[in-house]
Structure 1
Amino acid sequence: MFEEPPFPFAAIAATFFAAGIVKGVTGMGLPTMAMGILGALISPLAAASLLLVPSFVTNVWQLLAGPGFSPLLRRLGPMMLAVVAGTLAGSSWLAGGDARFTTAALGCALVVYAGYTLLARQLRIPARWERWLSPAVGAATGLVAGGTGVFVIPAVPYLQALGLEKDELIQALGLSFTVSTIALAAGLGAHGSLRLDNLALSAFAVLPALGGMWAGQVLRGRIGPVAFRRGFLACLLALGAEMALRQVF
């Protein structure tokens, strides 16, 4: 699946260490950062395969550290079911091997996410809208995740708009990312696009990701999270734009 010459271990370690730092400082961004860097170097399908194990481990950690799993699951259950359905449907695009299309789609997803997060005002979703809006957002998130390997659009802005407490929001993000990761693995596996050697490399990436998270947590007290987050999003926007435009020109 990887291009020749083989993708070096050092580049994988550096990518996931950097992505772990982002997650350690901001509480999110590891899958998006990793897909952004790796997607610019190798095919999005290969990048998504590398992402699976470190994303699963770090997001389960984030999910289990929250205050109340059962109430959150009851509230967001319909959204999570729709995420699974959308991801399974969308994974055929990523597994199809059309690197030009998936790279452009990944770049557009990064631009939309970074641009929205940098410029948009915080929304508030009325509770009465959740019953019908949650499944729609979940399905859209799943389609984007299945096609690009990026789990954040539109799930992250939607969850941020529900008025959850800080710890609840972090746990909700962990739940959404965990479900998306499992569904993506299932979708790629169903299309025969997962290989044991890729999963071994993905498992290898867990250690630098956790090391980066630890370093990010240390840096959190020394670097303003808001300034760091803005810089990260600006870099992500530029990277996404380059990936999308590369496929046009």
Structure 2
Amino acid sequence: MLDEPQMLLIVLLVFLFAGTVKGVVGLGLPTISLALILLVSDLPTAMALLLVPSFVTNVWQALSTGNGEAGQTLRVWRRVWPFMLPATCLVWLGGQVLATVDFSYLTRLLGVLLVLYSITGLAGLRFDINRLAAGWHSPLAILVGSVNGVLTGMTGSFTVPGVMYLQALNLSRDELMQAMGMLFSLSSLGLAVTLQGNGMLTAEHGLMSLSGLLPAMAGMFIGQKIRQGLSAEAFRKALFIALLLLGLYILL
């Protein structure tokens, strides 16, 4: 079992790395930090530690993308709110499972989600919701949002199937970045409320999570500098391969 100074050092390094990844490709901070901390901790602790850096960096992403144009932010919100509402509100339902089921099963479920996310990313799979009849859009948004919310509460992962759904909306790059920022920040908030309600979020967790904020912000700054001289697509593929290996390790 790691002592507090060792755990603090790991948290600082994890969020520096995860923030750097987010600075380069625009996502990955919650997923990477959760997977890496899980290698040295249990699932509820890993979920608690990602809350502050994930919430703050993604609120920043949601509000700053698109040069702060309020019109774009409102336009994106109108497009995605039927998905965001259940994705946020149903985190508590997954949290009830987290409070009653053996953590080892949910940890393996997280491994499955990481593997699925990585495979779809490496394969370049994309869906187009706009091809569906208009009457199917809202029911599908509610269904996918509900699944995403429950899985967030069970595993702490915000990405599957939510990111794939947002990509299928064929938003512009800036709009997609804002939508993902909204999803990750709202999911972080829902997860914080759920963990607190289940007695799994302590003051110690909160302070250690807060300590990861500055490294995450520094990592985002570093990542943005790296992005200027690096192929984002090559980095994205390397990220998916790393997440695939992490997922397999957690699963097996």
TM-score range, shorter chain: over 0.9
Structure 1 position 163, deviation (Å): 1.1
Q: How many residues of Structure 1 are paired with residues of Structure 2 in the alignment?
A: 243
Deviations for 1:143-163, whole angstroms, at most 9, x for unmatched residues?
A: 111111110001111111111
How big is the shift at 1:8? Answer: 2.2
Corresponding residue to 2:95 among 91, 99, 104: 91
Deviates more, 1:111-120 or 1:232-241: 111-120
Task: State the one-letter code of the partner of 2:59.
Answer: V
Match of 2:35 in 1: 36
Conservation of the 8 A alpha-carbon contact between 2:45 and 2:200: no
Aligned to 2:23: 24
d(CA) in 2 for partners of 1:81, 1:97? 25
Q: Does residue 62 of structure 1 match 2:61? A: yes
Alignment of 1:1-249 (within 5 A): 3-6=1-4, 7-66=6-65, 67=69, 68-96=72-100, 98-126=102-130, 128=134, 129-245=136-252
SS in structure 2 at match of 1:8: helix
Following TM superposition, by how much is the alpha carbon of 1:230 offset from its aligned partner in structure 2, in angstroms?
0.4
Q: What's the offset of the Cα at 1:4?
A: 4.7
Distance in 2, Cα, partners of 1:75 & 1:123:
17
One-letter amino acid matched to 2:73: F
Separation in 1 of the partners of 2:154 and 2:103?
Answer: 11
TM-score with structure 2 length normalisation?
0.92
Q: CA deviation at 1:94?
A: 3.0
Instruction: Give the distance between the partners of 1:208 and 1:226, measured in 2 at CA.
Output: 24
- Percent same amino acid at aligned positions? 37
* CA deviation after TM superposition for structure 1 residue 178, in Å: 1.1
Quote the offset at 1:102 in angstroms.
Answer: 2.1
Query: Aligned in 2, Cα 1:180/1:104: closer, same or farther, shift over 3 Å?
Result: same
- In structure 1, runs of 5+ residues without a counterpart are none
Report the CA distance between 1:203 and its aligned residue.
0.5
Take 1:95 and 1:170, find their aligned partners in 2: how far apart are those partners?
Answer: 32
- d(CA) in 2 for partners of 1:220 and 1:204? 25
CA separation in 2, counterparts of 1:57 and 1:219? Answer: 22
Q: Which amino acid aligns with 1:8?
A: M
Structure 1 outlier segments of 4+, above 4 Å: none
2:118–2:244 Cα contact (<8 Å) kept: yes
Aligned 8 A contact 1:118 1:230 in 2: yes
Distance 1:95 1:49 in 2: 14
Measured after TM superposition, the shift of residue 106 of structure 1 is: 1.3
Which one is further off, 122-131 or 144-153? 122-131
* 1:44 and 1:106 in contact (8 A); partners too: no
Partners of 1:207 and 1:97 lie apart in 2 by: 34
Do the aligned residues in 2 keep the contact of 1:83 with 1:142 (CA within 8 Å)?
yes
- What is the CA-CA distance between 1:119 and the residue it aligns to? 1.1
**Contact 1:144–1:150 (Cα < 8 Å) also in 2:** yes
